[in-house]
Amino acid sequence: MLEKQSIHVPEGLRAAINKAYRADELSLITELCEKAAIEPYQRTAIRANAMKLVESVRAERKKSTGIDSFLTEYALSSDEGIALMCLAEALLRVPDNATIDNLIKDKLAGGDWKSHRGQSDSFFVNATTWALMLTGKVLTPEKAENTLTKALMKLVNRSSEAVVRTAVDKAMRIMSKQFVMGRTINEALTRAKKKESKGYRYSYDMLGEAALTSVDAIRYFEAYKKAIESIGQQADKNSNLYKRAGISIKLSAIHPRYNESQYERVMEELPPRLLALSRLAKEYGIALTIDAEESERLDLSLDVIEKVFNDESLDGWDGFGLAVQSYQKRAFYVLDWVAALARSKNRRIMVRLIKGAYWDSEIKKSQMQGFSEYPVFTRKVFTDVSFQACAKKILTMTDAIYPQFATHNAYSVAMILNLVGDYRDFEFQCLHGMGNELYEQIVPADCFGIPCRIYAPVGSHEDLLPYLVRRLLENGANSSFVNRIVDDNAPITDLVEDPITKAKSLFNSMNKNIPLPEHLFLPARMNSKGVDFTNRHERALLQQELAKLNLNQWSAGPLVAGKTTFDNQQTVTSPQQPSRVVGSVQNSTLDDVEKALAQAELTFPVWSSIPVEERAACINRFADLLQANMMEFLSLACLEAGKTWNDGVAEVREAVDFCRYYAHMAQQLMASPTKLHGYTGELNELSLHPRGTILCISPWNFPLAIFTGQVVAGLVTGNCVIAKPAEQTPLIAAYAVKLMHQAGIPAGAIQLLPGAGETIGAALVSDKRIKAVLFTGSTDTANLINRTLATRGGEIIPLIAETGGQNAMLVDSSALLEQVVVDAVVSAFGSAGQRCSALRVLFVQEEVYPRTIELLKGAMAELVVGDPRWLATDIGPVIDKDALAILTNHVENMKKRYEILYQCKLSDECESGYFMPPTAIAIDNIDALEKEVFGPVLHVIQFKRKNLDQVINQINKTGFGLTLGIHSRINETVEYIRKRIHAGNCYVNRNMIGAVVGLQPFGGEGLSGTGPKAGGPNYLVRLCHERTYTVDTTAAGGNASLMSLPEDI
């Protein structure tokens, strides 16, 4: 299981790299401080030299024409800076004028552009400011200085929005030019000659983010080929290889599935592409450097690099290089591996030592995934220490490594200058448009005469924008050296502080602003732990454990008062392989129902009288057991429910989060009465009390998470629970209840009754001893339960029903389409579309519809549909043959009236299971869908922007109101849509699945459910009686507390 071949535990130098992946930060930085240590006299010299560099940079600042001066003028903490970020990211890609106008109005109307005019001597800043000031004035006439100006502005507003458009477009293109070297490689090569004559070198990067489709990957590959040819043709063949211009390559740009889960495919397809580019670079006598990307891709990149580097056709070529990110905890150990690889072939490898550009996303991903530690340092100063330690190590490996130190930090530059002494076989590197003033103190022959290679992006302005924004984020933050070096208010002494001294002062202190992922929700609760499938050591151990569990035969039956009988069992099979028996189930009888109800009645007085703190402790112990039994539940989720590994991990984590969240909330709500403030002389309190026996009916699509959420909510509030799991997934539920009993929850407080809804479910719902019903499933079944409760007589009891939805995502033309498609694919097809929250209808503005469909088809073509036992599988089976038949019939009926945009092909391994190929269908109106289609089928509708209200009405008219997705860069548009569409959960510029307990309480309205939301603060209250207690505290004669109040307050 997990992989078709055995995963080998990393050994040797790779084991050292792996060990540092998510190492304890303080332990690791203590070690790196020792490795980075230099003599006191060196620190003094470095500090003095760094101060001179900063002073020189500030003196030269007025000559600046680059991004440095821009960052000074428009700090990212200002409204104008934020507006520019948003505008730069979106404007140039928007195809229609109406959306452009709305985007400009949304981002620039509130900016005080006039205050920036003339504040800088840089033409770049002033040109940008003048254009934006014009726009700002046009859009905000109320701020005009006099009536005449106001009148003129109104005239411009009336006469032509094109004036605004032209001005802002011009401003954005001025901004773009500061980052991009040229729109084509030849344009960039021509522009580079001026700097090259001064001693600078270049490494060109063909702009573009990760390839989403195979077509994208081929296009980027061809662009790299042409660039290598162009660079090589203009290279000076008489100069040293390292003096020539080179090229930088992103591996994610030349393969659409460049990630660890697709290891076999990547290792078959990517090395030949990289080898072809490397051979071409060798042929033309230029260098090629592999860009560093996200930390989760490091191991994969090293395998690709090793395979290519060892190819005999590259023997004798010292032009192969890679970037090493010093903010990664593994950087120091990667260098040993690189040097060993180079020496094994008697060659040199170029190492571009950088700080790193994905820090914010690395932190967020680790938090979201519940990993044990971060792969990067949480403090900037720790990264600086790592950079220094790595630099020292590289300079001891110059036989194997050609050093390239990429930094805009004056202290780092001064440190390198000190370490190298008279050694000169190395270079500095900087980003195009940044660090100009700093390196003017380094490169000229009359200074240090040390070359600096400029990393120069090449491509269209549209391709530039994501890159532009990432660089602005990286270097525009207030703590960034690039920002502070040109800020006269930042003391020079702070800028040249020794990182080791500062780091040592923080040895006993974690960054409180960035707690460890598992501590994210403290003090309320611990975060659930995830599984890092990119950690090969961890994955190898997982494979061994899962292989053992694969042999298990599981069983389930009615658990009444802790006892189970097995006399008429039925087999439970796997949806991906119906011939595979996973275990057996004994379905409940009506006699079991009666016994369970009677036992619950007996247990309720005892369980409800236990203090809430003790009940919460039981639930927290159960959460710990869920976490400890992660492997068992992953195996069951895969084999019984057909879930992929990532879906299985998310399921267990959600169950754990439900436990800990509800345990915390119950104590907040029930530990003591709430005192209600009011009249003097009177006590008023509100308290919550258990209802009795609660029935929980859970679905097969989340057989552990939803099952657990319902059950523990009932238990922690002091109720007894009878749980009826879905007929398709009783084994997971039975194992969970077993652990609940192990956690100390009485056998009579939680009982399990597997069986058919028509018999067992119906008998329980109609019994008056049931005091509340929690149900997740179809709208039809929820209505049936509601009618039964209404007609059974007796007290009126709560029904919490969470049902389906005709969930839509709206995309306007300001959206980043690559992001839209990634989010749409995971929202519509993830979990085989078997989520209540899954995307069913994608509305796309007509101007971007063709490109969206092109990307959607390409992304769908990359999906792996198959056996969920393999990590490479993206989409597993649907739950059973009935579900498959319904979905197949729906698509066949749609074919008669509408176009099938794309349908994934199924492999041979899908023949025996219940596999539905992900399908995209173009329709003209949401009315074409008579009911929810619960599976991997996406319906796509194009719309005109002017008809947005019609789209909103279409969606509301369905009566459903569960999830909504919006992709737009225009805040006003987002607000307009979300205020008008009736949806319980609204997601903006992201996918629309995977609601997190406590952060995104989940539940809908209308046909989608009753509320309150699961995983939210109001859920537990619905499971309790509310009681008010009022006492006249003056009844014994007089209000002593009032009479004794001091008079001087």
CA–centroid distance for 863 within its chain: 19
What angle do helix axes 263-284 and 298-309 make, rounded to 10 degrees?
50
Which one-letter DSSP state was computed for residue 202? E
What tokens does 167 get?
């001005």
Phi and psi at residue 508, in whole multiples of 5°? Answer: -100, 20
What angle do helix axes 630-641 and 730-742 make, rounded to 10 degrees?
160
Which one-letter DSSP state was computed for residue 904? P
Token look-up 């007509």 returns 846
CB contact set of 833 (below 8 Å; sequence gap of 6+)? 878, 916, 918, 933, 934, 935, 936, 937, 938
Residue 128's alpha-carbon distances to 113, 122, 519, 824, in angstroms, are: 10, 10, 44, 36
Residue 153 DSSP SS3: helix
* Catalytically annotated residue among 802, 847, 862, 932: 802
Which of 406, 392, 413 has its CA nearest to residue 51? 413
Does residue 836 have an active-site annotation? yes
Alpha carbons 991 and 968: distance in angstroms, whole number: 13
CB contact set of 1018 (below 8 Å; sequence gap of 6+)? 1001, 1011, 1012
Residue 34 neighbours by CB distance under 10 Å: 9
Contact indicator for 1016, 802 with CB cutoff of 8 Å: no
CB contact set of 425 (below 8 Å; sequence gap of 6+)? 398, 402, 403
HSE value, Cβ hemisphere, 13 Å, CA-based, for 1048: 0
Residue 1027 DSSP SS3: strand
Which of 231, 232, 277 has its CA nearest to residue 254? 277
Residue 723 neighbours by CB distance under 10 Å: 27
Alpha carbons 724 and 696: distance in angstroms, whole number: 6
Phi and psi at residue 345, in whole multiples of 5°? Answer: -115, 10
What tokens does 643 get?
């879930």
Q: How many residues does the chain have?
A: 1049
Q: Which amino acid is at 751?
A: Q
HSE value, Cβ hemisphere, 13 Å, CA-based, for 70: 30
Residue 997's alpha-carbon distances to 379, 657, 978, in angstroms, are: 29, 6, 22
* Catalytically annotated residue among 836, 904, 910, 1024: 836
Which of 715, 768, 687, 742 has its CA nearest to residue 603? 715
Q: Catalogue the E-assigned strands of 480-569.
A: 554-556
Contact indicator for 301, 341 with CB cutoff of 8 Å: no
Residue 653 DSSP SS3: helix
What tokens does 16 get?
């050292």
Which of 726, 790, 784 has its CA nearest to residue 752? 726
CB contact set of 313 (below 8 Å; sequence gap of 6+)? 275, 279, 282
Alpha carbons 602 and 605: distance in angstroms, whole number: 7
Does residue 802 have an active-site annotation? yes
CB contact set of 1024 (below 8 Å; sequence gap of 6+)? 669, 670, 688, 689, 690, 691, 717
HSE value, Cβ hemisphere, 13 Å, CA-based, for 1024: 21
Burial of 311 (0-12, 13-18, 19+ CB in 10 A): middle
What tokens does 649 get?
């991990």
Alpha carbons 833 and 552: distance in angstroms, whole number: 28
* Residues designated as active site: 802, 836
